[in-house]
Structure 1
Amino acid sequence: MTKAHFPFVIRKLLELWDEGRLPNVAGVEIEPEYGYVARILYRSNAVRIIRGSDVGLNAGAACEVAKDKAYVKHFLRRSGFECPRGEAFLLPWWAKEIMPRLAEKGFTRPRTTDGAAEYAAGLGFPVYLKPIDGAQGRGVWRCDSAAHIQPVIDYYAEQRIRLMVVEEAVDLPDHRLVVLRDRLISAYTRFPLTVTGDGTATIAELLSELQRSFRLSGRPTTIDAADARIAARLARAGLDLATVPRRGQTVVLLDISNLTAGGTALDVTATVHPRWVRLALDVTAALGLKFSGVDLACADVTDPDAPYSVLEVNCSPGLDHYGSVGVEQRAVVDDLYALILNEPPD
């Protein structure tokens, strides 16, 4: 396996090591079969383990809790933060499997997806359905009516997803704030996957050209034109992949703005108000984390009094897509990983 196939963080580790930017590091060992795990040996005899995008800063239990959207909502609400209304539901196959154990503990009527449509109607459509421990926008669906919910549940069951969250839609711009201990690393506004018409190409052709531009720029994003969520989003606008948008027409293709799903970013690190930096730091601390990416829905991150909602918290925020935004952003990413990886663990 070549370095090019290693996860981004491990490639960055080797790059910084080769450049001499990790003076406290005595050696680096990479698990040879998949290149997914690395061990850093420090001159102080300390050791750090990296796994995928996890740089080994956050405690294991805290990171596991942060991956669970229901736990995050619970603890952030208890700490006084605004979050979207929503609840977790057991998929029937999983409920059946764990019912004997639940019954032993006195839980005889667990919340299952049988009640998801009624709950969603109470929240008010549209709502979002999310795998409880999903990441990078995978499996996130917008549902505009009760009829849209069961097909998503069926899909989740096929994927053996155990729990899902039904969550109200928050109609505010989406931002990611990455923080490390007591400092802001980066802040950027995220926009969903879009294409812009030229008056002659179909949406499918525009999407293919966008994918080509990603490859040429080195951006590690793969867009699946067959993603049913793209078809659903287009159908709501009366379009499909064969539609030829007029010149200059912007067509939104997904209801999520994750960069891994083809979204774009606008760097706002220099303009985000200190109130939102403080909030991201406090959210991170409230979950027992040192390093996180806080997904913040906020009307205006330059305004300290703007309405907001904390959408999710990522305990292993990948910065490869952010680093592809521009030269300055790549330098921020390099400096961050040099800082983290050069410092022996506590």
Structure 2
Amino acid sequence: MAKKSAPDDRSQRHRSDKALAHRLKRLRADSMNPVMEMSEAETASRTGAVSVDCGWGRLIFAQTFENAADLVSAIREEGPERRDIAFYVRDPHVLLAEAPQEIFLDPSHTFRLDLATYRSGRRQPRGYFVRRLSSEADARAVNRIYAARGMVSVRPDFFWSNRDNRAITYFVAEDEATGEIVGTVTGIDHRRAFADPEQGSSLWCLAVDPQARHPGIGEMLVRRLAEHFKARGAAHMDLSVLHDNDQAIALYEKLGFRRVPVFAVKRKNPINERLYARPLEAYDALNPYARLIVDEARRRGVHVEITDAEGGFFRLSHGGRSVHCRESLSEMTSGVAMSICDDKAVTRRVVEAAGIVVPEQMVAGDDRHALQAFLEKHGRVVVKPARGEQGRGVAVGLETIEDIDRAVATAREVCDRVLVEACFDGEDLRLVVIDFKLVAAAVRRPPRVVGDGRSNIRRLIESQSRRRSAATGGESTIPIDAETERCLAAAGFDLDTVPESGTDIVVRKTANLHTGGSIHDVTGVVHHRLVEAAINAARAIDIPVVGIDFMVHSPTEPDYVFIEANERPGLANHEPQPTAERFLDLLFPLSGHRAATQALGKM
């Protein structure tokens, strides 16, 4: 065997020398070409094996490495909390044999768009436009979308520091009405990264805000990037997509992408664990609120046992300690605290005694004179069941006895005892308090649709509801019921109305996420008086994890009235705030990076 290996080794060295000579010849030719002007970072990558730092990790061009051992060495250099991708792996079986315990074959398909035959679509964006990323505010918004989609975040200054990097292009979609960033995509120009002889390019990190109101944002971002690379003379644009992401695959095939036999390899790390490890039994049946916590627990090495997936129950164990949870409700919340939150009238009395501002309230009964007097005093009222959750049976902004009667009848389907409260004009603010510290603050806004000049309101609601459901794992939909019809009638519409293009219509007054509302992070600007009031309410109830709801004129102003306390607040949808991380810190303070940092004396 030894005698046979010698000529094979010489032959391998000969092929390697030829490949190196070919690359050096190409580099010399490129250096004489004044058109190929490169940044310092790009020039550094030209010396051999190539990788491009994308912020979330490195895109490693496997075809530029001489052998599997060198490529594995590069993959091992992955930074903490990063996700490197080795793309264009020619012989994945050989590469995996080199380090089977450290790397894995990404279960994704590669799709390619032939830019020579690609034709731009006729459809134009409505209600938003696509442009280059241009500020650090854009970068923060992109990170928010990444977090909402479970993607690895990027330092905001990375985007800004790479704005002149000719190999990387960032596009964002901006809502015309609000100015919010609602989508993003990243493109890599392979020729400018390493003078790719195939003149390729690739698409990465396509992400749309799950609360975006406008259809077709993802498609427009893909088209804009394809047009950009076609104008630069690229031959094709590649992308990698998980094999079971049917919705994305359908979009790419619609745009003319076709599958190609190109593979990606990644390093086994906590971020990638769900791609290579055996999934937890019944994991897919968990709702997003339970899944968020389970994912964070597994990332930290906390043992997870799903005890009832449909109900959102799971047991977490670490270091000899075991805690049973239902989403964010754990055994650390007492039965007394739960009882206080369960009955809205009791909650109101408890927090009022602690100095929290509460709205005037009465119980809906048979005394219509008292109800009429209450309505005349306040002008507009809120009707809600004394016990209930997820916005069921709640009606806001009622101005007539007839509307109140109907709302009371609906609320009694949820709970026999119904409350009538003074209506406070403003925005619905949710403050998540964990361990008596504010973790997240967000404004919740009612569901709304935007007219397109063709569809009636019923159809617009159904389309928006499908998008909300897809973005939230079925947790958020817009009901078409008596409350929706009442809100439309108050604005002069009905379900058959065809609104003009661009008309913005609020279809329900309640801002609950389960009935189609949207949530917008305001943690960085919320007034300190509101934070103090929320923490005081949590202490009055003596509850370690709670969502405190206020009505406010603005999250930046101190005025508020207390609405309710939720003993099982949904920790999802508060990106980029670390809600699940703080929850696990509360349950298992000696788990995760925080504990390691403390042990090393770095905190």
Report the TM-score range of the alignment, normalised by the length of the smaller protein: 0.7 to 0.9
Task: Measure, in 2, the Cα distance between the counterparts of 1:32 and 1:225.
Answer: 27
Count, aligned residues: 308
Query: What displacement does 1:17 show?
Result: 3.8
Match of 1:6 among 251, 276, 286: 286
363, 371, 380: which one pairs with 1:117? 371
1:39 is matched with which residue? 315
Using a 3 Å threshold, how does the CA distance of structure 1 residues 256 and 160 change in structure 2: closer, same or farther?
A: closer
User: Does the 8 Å CA contact 1:220/1:321 hold for their aligned counterparts?
Assistant: no
Kept after mapping to 1: 8 A contact 2:428/2:552: yes
Q: Distance in 2 between matches of 1:335 and 1:321?
A: 14
Q: 1:333 aligns with which of 564, 567, 579?
A: 579
* Most deviating of 225-234 and 122-131: 122-131
Supply the AA of the counterpart residue of 2:485. A
In structure 2, the residue matched to 1:231 is: 485
Q: What's the TM-score, normalizing by structure 2?
A: 0.48
The match for 2:298 is 18
Is the contact between residue 8 and residue 53 of structure 1 (CA under 8 Å) also seen in structure 2? Answer: no
Consecutive unaligned residues of structure 2, counting only runs of 5 or more, are 1-280, 591-603
Contact 1:197 1:250 in 2 (8 A): yes
Does residue 152 (structure 1) correspond to residue 432 (structure 2)? The answer is no
Tell whether the 8 Å contact from 1:260 to 1:321 is kept in structure 2 after alignment. no
Aligned-residue sequence identity (percent) comes to 28
Give 1:1-346 correspondences, 5 Å limit: 2-19=282-299, 21-22=300-301, 25=302, 27-31=303-307, 34=310, 36-44=312-320, 46-89=321-364, 112-115=365-368, 117-118=371-372, 120-121=374-375, 123-142=377-396, 143-157=398-412, 159=413, 161-303=415-557, 306-323=558-575, 328-329=576-577, 332-343=578-589
What CA distance in whole angstroms lies between the structure 2 residues aligned with 1:209 and 1:335?
A: 34
User: Is the alpha carbon distance of 1:55 and 1:12 closer, same or farther for their aligned partners in structure 2, counting shifts above 3 Å?
Assistant: farther
SS in 2 for 1:10: helix
Amino acid in structure 2 at the alignment position of 1:41:
S
Identify the structure with bigger relative contact order (alpha carbons < 8 Å, sequence gap 6+): 1
Measure the CA separation in 2 of the matches of 1:77 and 1:83: 6
Residue 218 (structure 1) shift: 4.0
1:207 to partner: Cα distance: 1.4
- Higher gyration radius (CA): 2
Shift of 1:3: 1.7
Alpha-carbon distance in structure 1 between the residues aligned to 2:350 and 2:422: 18
Q: Which amino acid aligns with 1:83?
A: V
Distance (Å, rounded) in 1 between the aligned partners of 2:516 and 2:478: 10
| Residues 144 and 217 (structure 1), Cα distance of their counterparts in 2 relative to 1, 3 Å cut | same
Shift of 1:35: 5.5
Contact 2:323/2:331 (<8 A) preserved: yes
Give, in whole Å, the separation in 1 of the partners of 2:445 and 2:336. 31
Root-mean-square deviation (CA, aligned residues, Å) is 2.4
Rounded Cα–Cα distance in structure 1 between residues aligned with 2:545 and 2:340:
14
| Residues in 1 aligned to 2:286 and 2:552: alpha-carbon distance in whole angstroms | 35
> How much does 1:230 deviate?
0.3
CA contact (8 A) 2:288 2:472 kept: no
Determine the C-alpha separation between the residues in 2 that align with 1:191 and 1:336.
25
The equivalent residue for 1:100 is none
Scaled by the length of structure 1, what TM-score is found? 0.80
